[in-house]
Amino acid sequence: QQWYSNSMKVICMWLADRLDLQLHIYQLKTLIKIVKKTYRDFRLQGVMEGTLNSKTYDTVHSRLTVEEATVSVTDAGGLQGITMKDSDE
C-alpha cells in the first residue's frame, strides 16, 4: 500500500510542478500507461479500494483525463487508442 501511495504522490507532484504546462504527447501516453498499470497491478494484489482511489489518485486521474481531452481536440489520433478510460467500464 505504501509503495502504491508513494508512486501516486510522485506522479502527482511531478504533474503539479507542470500545472501551467501542457504535457507532451509522449509524456501523456507514458503517464497514462504507468498510472493504469500501477492501479490494476495493485488492485490485483489486494490493495484496499480506499487506498487505490485516494485523493492523490483522483488528482492524477483528473489531470491526465483533461490532458487526454485536450490532445484529442488538437491532435486527432495522437494517443493512438491510449486512454484513461478503463477497459472494464
pTM of the model: 0.84
Q: Between residues 81 and 36, which one has the greater pLDDT?
A: 36
- Kindly report the three-state secondary structure assignment for every residue of the chain: CHHHHHHHHHHHHHHHHCCCCCCCHHHHHHHHHHHHHHHHHHHHCCCCHHHHCCHHHHHHHHHHHHHHHHHHHHCCCCCCCCCCCCCCC
Interval 5-30: pLDDT, tens = 999 999 999 999 999 998 988 999 99
Q: How many domains does the chain have?
A: 1
Interval 60-72: pLDDT, tens = 999 999 998 888 7
- Would residue 81 count as lying in a domain? no
- Would residue 63 count as lying in a domain? yes
How confident is the prediction for the chain on average, in pLDDT?
88
- Would residue 42 count as lying in a domain? yes
The parent domain of residue 31 ranges over 1-73
pLDDT at residue 85 tops 90:
no
